[in-house]
Amino acid sequence: MSYSIGTPPFQLYGMIDTGSDLIWFQCKPCKSYYNQTSPIFDPSKSSSYNIIPCSSPTCTQNPESHCSLDHMKKCEYNVFYGDFSKSKGYLSEDILTLISNDGSPVTFSNIVIGCGHKNNFTIDGKISGFIGLGRGPLSLVSQLGSSIGRKFSYCLVPFFSQANIPSKLNFGDTSVVSGIGTVSTPIVQGDFGTFYVTILEAFSVGNETIKLNHTNFRLKNPGNTIIDSGSTLVHLPYAIYSRLESAVASLVKLKRVKDPTQQMNLCYKTTSNFLKVPIITAHFMGADVHLNALNTFIPVDHKVVCFAFVPNDVFDYVTFGNVAQQNFLVGYDLLKNIISFKPTDCAKY
């Protein structure tokens, strides 16, 4: 996501993540950093930049922040992610600028941000840091709040699309997902405050239906699935994954091979750009989401594709990552507490 921070506005690029809250980016001076190819923000050059003091409720009530140990009475944050990315720096405030659909800038004052001076990120490139779109108070969605009607949506262009076309992210009234093909599922409270938690009832593939019973999870609440734009794959409890893999493998008539990256279990050799694999339907409460080859298999090497679902018994929930969300308009309405899916050619949206 392209956005700007400070006065004058300084352009940054954040990875949107519905699975976290904080807006953070690398800042000068960096004590340790990852290789960012775009310019790094220098807070001393922004006349509107302010570090939040330790005494502020923003610091004391945020579980990821604390008073710095250097006796400077500044609020320090420390965040970690599932892929071992991390950032540490000062919790601050500044002006955030977005570009509206008509090309004009829209500014938001006193947005809480993380100015990261010690960072480790698993991806090199122009990405400056993270844009948290979660449900916590410091996420961009929560901070923009009523100004966007607590609504946003995105349409993810396929990773391996040949055309250099950006994905779309909308806030407010333009983000409403509706019309033919739209299905919606409720957001439930779940056991995870930050995340967008839904209820996934079953998968179906061919003639087989694989139900996700509450006994598959060690959760207090019925919510069992996180819709996570910051994850890549679909992560499933092993018992569910095993049945789904068997059902898919029984219907795919291609030569099985090992994953060259050693990350996925079910891989095939293919010589065609057209991949003949079964449709997998994710049966969310009130919403059947039909996943085609684009959502269920990814190319990992020359003429090798792998099933983009993996077993995971570390976490007691399903993670519905961004491969499964490609070519869907995915809308989040936090007033109605629903997530909507609409099949869409995102390159043309």
16 vs 280: CA distance, rounded Å: 26
226 vs 197: CA distance, rounded Å: 5
Is 245 inside a domain boundary? yes
Is 250 inside a domain boundary? yes
Q: Is 94 a catalytic residue?
A: no
For residues 118 and 197, membership in a common domain is answered with no
For residues 227 and 333, membership in a common domain is answered with yes
43 vs 117: CA distance, rounded Å: 11
102 vs 91: CA distance, rounded Å: 32
Q: Are 325 and 331 in contact (CB under 8 A)?
A: no
Is 172 inside a domain boundary? no
Q: What is the domain count for the chain? A: 2
For residues 197 and 336, membership in a common domain is answered with yes
Per-residue pLDDT tens digits for 22-43: 999 999 998 878 889 999 999 9
Per-residue model confidence (pLDDT) at position 192: 61
For residues 339 and 229, membership in a common domain is answered with yes
Helix (H) or strand (E) holding 248: helix 238-249
Is 144 inside a domain boundary? yes
For residues 13 and 67, membership in a common domain is answered with yes
For residues 337 and 195, membership in a common domain is answered with yes
For residues 64 and 181, membership in a common domain is answered with no
171 vs 331: CA distance, rounded Å: 10
For residues 193 and 293, membership in a common domain is answered with yes
283 vs 51: CA distance, rounded Å: 46
Residue 53: beta bridge partners? 74
For residues 113 and 195, membership in a common domain is answered with no
What stretches in the chain show pLDDT beneath 70? Answer: 70-72, 161-163, 190-192, 214-220
Is 160 inside a domain boundary? no
Per-residue model confidence (pLDDT) at position 82: 76
Per-residue model confidence (pLDDT) at position 275: 86
Question: Which range marks the domain in which residue 49 is found?
Answer: 2-148
- The catalytic residue among 21, 94, 228, 333 is 228
For residues 123 and 213, membership in a common domain is answered with no
Q: Is 288 a catalytic residue?
A: no
For residues 235 and 301, membership in a common domain is answered with yes
- The catalytic residue among 17, 21, 94, 333 is 17
Per-residue model confidence (pLDDT) at position 142: 95
For residues 278 and 337, membership in a common domain is answered with yes
CATH number of the CATH domain containing 337? 2.40.70.10
pTM value is 0.93
Per-residue model confidence (pLDDT) at position 162: 65
67 vs 60: CA distance, rounded Å: 8
Is 166 inside a domain boundary? no
Name 203's Cβ contacts closer than 8 Å, sequence gap at least 6: 209, 210, 212, 240, 244, 280, 281, 282, 283
Give the closest residue to 223 by CA, choosing from 122, 309, 339, 121: 339
Is 165 inside a domain boundary? no
Name 336's Cβ contacts closer than 8 Å, sequence gap at least 6: none
Is 52 inside a domain boundary? yes
Helix (H) or strand (E) holding 200: strand 200-205
